[in-house]
Amino acid sequence: MKSVEKTAKSVRDGIESGLAELGLSLEQVEVIVLEEPTKGLFGLWGAKPARVRVTKKSTVLEMAVVFLTTLLRHMGADDAVCEVTREGADEVEIAINATNSGLLIGRRGQTLDAIQQLTAVIYTRSGGEKRLQIDVGQYRERRKQSLIELAKSLAERVRRTGRKAVLEPMSASERRIVHVALQDEVGVLTYSEGDEPYRKIIIAVR
């Protein structure tokens, strides 16, 4: 969090000086008056300037990153570094770099999904309106490619044998990857059945 302390003849001058240094507007900062100015004896001796602290306000996204970092520390990932890698109109991507990435990913990404859901709740409750996508060591991209390859392979088998294929239970985001991967495949269709968290995809002959 950026913060500067300024000394000036008046509180207003101190604030303006701080805003100029930070390159921010008054709406983007918090101001604490550390010392009010005093005129001193006869306006000469003992006069003291005003002293203020001007601090940049944390954005909702910054607060979410702080929460995420703290959560990872509590999970034992003391060296984890969180970085916003992309902020689009509807989605924000946050990358986690950590030595023990497996601890944060979990079985089939279940731990990572839980981390993402918790952070998204804090982000949304704080006023965030975009979808959060959190990744560790590019796990989600690798998992996506793996699911696409599996889906294509199973679709070919379904076409060849005429028998449907049932995939393991997946999260909603992973099921969407499979649906999209096979939406233009000739001769097969996909649909989901079951209840969360055991909902699964079926690939069948069209």
CA distance linking residue 67 with residue 73, whole number of Å = 10
CA distance linking residue 134 with residue 88, whole number of Å = 14
Q: What is the pLDDT of residue 132?
A: 93
Q: Taking the CB of residue 171, how many other CB atoms lie within 10 A of it?
A: 17
Ramachandran quadrant class, 134 (left: phi over 0; alpha: psi -120 to 50; beta: rest): beta
Segments making up each domain of the chain, as ranges: 3-56, 60-137, 141-205
To the question of domain 141-205 being in CATH 3.30.1370.50, the answer is: yes
pLDDT per residue as tens, the chain (206 positions): 688 888 888 888 888 888 898 888 887 788 889 988 887 666 566 678 889 998 887 688 888 999 999 999 999 998 999 989 988 889 999 999 998 888 899 988 889 999 999 999 999 988 888 899 999 989 999 999 999 999 999 999 999 999 999 999 988 889 999 999 999 999 999 999 998 888 999 999 98
Paired strand residues for 36: none
To the question of domain 60-137 being in CATH 3.30.300.20, the answer is: yes
Q: What is the pLDDT of residue 1?
A: 61
CA distance linking residue 171 with residue 163, whole number of Å = 24
Q: Is the pTM of this model over 0.75?
A: no
DSSP three-state, residue 44: coil
| Residue 55 backbone dihedrals phi, psi, to 5 degrees | -125, 135
Q: What is the pLDDT of residue 30?
A: 81
Contact at 8 Å (CB) between 188 and 205?
yes
B/e letters for 18-30, b = 16+ CB within 10 Å, e = fewer, are bbeebebeeeebe
Angle separating helix axes 110-125 and 60-74, nearest 10 degrees: 140
Tell which residue, 4, 3, 8, has the closest CA to residue 51.
8
